[in-house]
Structure 1
C-alpha cells in the first residue's frame, strides 16, 4: 500500500481564508466511464471527485484492484483532482438487496462482508491520497431492537476504524434518513459508544439537514464543525428525502457555504445527485457555477441573489429522474 500523499498548506494562509473546494459524485455520472467522468470534472473546473466504488467505477471486488487503483491515482494527479472515497453503491455486495448486507445485518457473516468492503475502501483511499472514506449505518433490520443494532454498529466499525487509524484516512459516517444512524444526534451516540476515536469523523449531507434536522442547514454545519471530514450537497425540501438539483428545493445556500467556509473545512464539498445520471454532464456543468456564486460574498452583490440553474431537459428517449421519496 502506498503512503498517503500530503499537500502542504499555502504559506501565510489561515484556514478561514481558503476557498471551499467543490467536487461531484460519480454516483451521479454512472452512465460515463470513470476516465470520461474524471476528465469532464477537470474540464469543468471541479477540485475533486466523490468516487463511489461500484461495478462501473473502480469495482472494489474485481481482480487487480491495487493496479487499477494506481492508474486512477495517476489519472487524478494528471487532472489535478483530489478525491473522497464513497461506499454507497446500491448493489455492489448483493445484486438483490439495495445497500445489503449492512453493518446491522443479523447474520455475522454478512456483516463481515460489509466490514471487509469498508476496510478495502480505506486501503483504496490511502492509495488515492483521498481525504476520507464515507459510510453509513444501514436500516434497522426487521425483528432487531435498537440497542442490539447500535451494539452491532459499534462492533462492526471497530476494525474499520483500526484500518483508518493505521492509514491516516478518517472514516466519515453519514447520517442517512431512514437509517439507524439518521441524524447528528445519532452520530454523537455512535461517537460516545466508541469512545470518541480520532479516526471517526462525519459526512454531513446538507440536503439531509434540510430534510429532517431541527437546526437549519447552516446551524448544522456550525454544530458539526469539529467532526467534519466530508460534505455532500444538493437541494432538498423539508420532510422529503429527494436529492434535487440546485434551485429545485428550499435551501438558502449562501449562509450554508458561508458557515462551512468559516469552519476552515478543506475537504471536498461534493454534489450528490445519484438519481440524475441520465443528465449527469449537464447537472455537473450547471452545479459548479451555482456553488461558486453562492459561496461568493453575499453582500453587496450588484447582480442580486444567485439564480437557480436552468432545469436540464432530458434528451428524447431518456427517463426523467425518479424521485427518492421518503425511502433511504
Structure 2
C-alpha cells in the first residue's frame, strides 16, 4: 500500500472560541444556523520537527513470531485512559497493533489543533511500534442524543453529509498515521424508510467514500454489523457487487458476529471472506446473542479460527473488540492476549 505524503490536506473544523471545547457536528450545526454542515477549513499537516514518513515508518515494524497472528486491541475498550497511556499499555502487553476509534476522548476529529494532535499520536505510535486501523464507530461523536447517528442511510441530507464528512476526516487521519485501513459500517435506516431508498443512499455514500479512500491510497474495511442494514457476509457481497468490487472496498470480519448470526461455521466464514479481508475483529460470543464477551465466556473454539486465518494467508491485524470493558481495561487486555497466544499455539482443528 502506498502511503500519501504527510502534506496531504485534511479537512478539520475551525477553531472554537478561546476556552471552548470541541463540539459535536450536531451542536456546531445548531450553533451556526447559516450552515447545514460543520464549518471547516483546509489545514495542511506539517511537522518539521518530525522526520519524513519514510524514516519514521520503519520504527513501527516489529518482528512477529512466525506463524502467529498480529494481535491488536480496540481503544473503545480503553475509554477511561488517555490515548497515549492506552497505546503504551498495549505495547507493553505485547500487542502489535491498535484499532483506534476516533472519539471525543481519543483523537477527536473535530477538536481544535487537530494537526498537532495527529502528530502527537504519530510519535507515540512510532515509539511503541504499534500498527494501526482507524475506526469510526464512536457512539455519540456526531449526535449527543442518538447513538451511532446520523448514518449514511439517514433521511436528512444534512445527516448523511455529516457522516460522510466524518469518514473523509477518518481517511485523512488514517493516511497521516500510516493506518492499514479505515473501518466503517452501514448503520440503520430511519423508521419508515423504504428499503430501496436506504440501499440507494448506502451505495451512493460508499461510492463517495471509496473515491476519497482511493485518492488517499488507503483501504476501507467495511464491517457487516448485526442489526444494521448490512448485517452479514452476504450483505457485504451484495454491496461490493453494487459498487463494482472496487479494490479499496475491503472487509472487516468480526469473528464473534460469525458465531452470532452467520449460517456457516466460523472457520467457513473466514474462508468465504479471505479474498476481501482487510481487518479482523475478535471476541467471544454466543449463538443468536449480539454481546461481545471476554474470551472463554462464549462458545467459540478459537484455535481452528486462528489457524484458518493463517491458512487464508491473512496478515492484517486481529483486533480484540470489547467496548464495554473500559472499567477493567488493563486486566481484560492482558487476559485477552494471553488467551489468544495460547489458542494460536494449539494445533488441534475442530470445526466451529
TM-score by length of 1: 0.87
Q: Secondary structure at the match of 1:236?
A: strand
Q: How does 1:82-121 map to 2 (within 5 A)?
A: 82-121=131-170
Aligned residues: 296
Residue in 1 that maps onto 2:40 = none
1:223 and 1:298 map into 2 onto residues whose CA distance is 22
1:43 and 1:7 map into 2 onto residues whose CA distance is 19
**CA deviation after TM superposition for structure 1 residue 225, in Å:** 0.3
Residue in 2 that maps onto 1:206 = 255
Residue in 2 that maps onto 1:243 = 292
Residue in 1 that maps onto 2:83 = 34
**CA deviation after TM superposition for structure 1 residue 299, in Å:** 4.5
Residue in 2 that maps onto 1:233 = 282
Seen in structure 2, the aligned counterparts of structure 1 residues 214 and 299 have a Cα distance that, compared at 3 Å, is closer
1:99 and 1:7 map into 2 onto residues whose CA distance is 36
2:88 and 2:248 map into 1 onto residues whose CA distance is 31
1:289 and 1:30 map into 2 onto residues whose CA distance is 21
Tell which deviates more after alignment, 136-145 or 176-185: 136-145
- 8 Å CA contact 2:303–2:348 kept in 1: the answer is no
Residue in 2 that maps onto 1:274 = 323
Q: Secondary structure at the match of 1:191?
A: helix
Residue in 2 that maps onto 1:313 = none
Moved over 4 A (4+): 3-8
**CA deviation after TM superposition for structure 1 residue 297, in Å:** 3.9
2:263 and 2:210 map into 1 onto residues whose CA distance is 29
Residue in 2 that maps onto 1:293 = 342
Residue in 1 that maps onto 2:37 = none
**CA deviation after TM superposition for structure 1 residue 18, in Å:** 4.7
- 8 Å CA contact 2:224–2:252 kept in 1: the answer is yes
Residue in 2 that maps onto 1:162 = 211
- 8 Å CA contact 1:18–1:264 kept in 2: the answer is no
Tell which deviates more after alignment, 100-109 or 59-68: 59-68
1:166 and 1:125 map into 2 onto residues whose CA distance is 13
TM-score by length of 2: 0.81
Q: How does 1:1-328 map to 2 (within 5 A)?
A: 2=6, 18-299=67-348
Structure 2: stretches of 5+ with no match in the other structure: 9-52
Structure 1: stretches of 5+ with no match in the other structure: 11-16, 306-328
**CA deviation after TM superposition for structure 1 residue 140, in Å:** 2.4
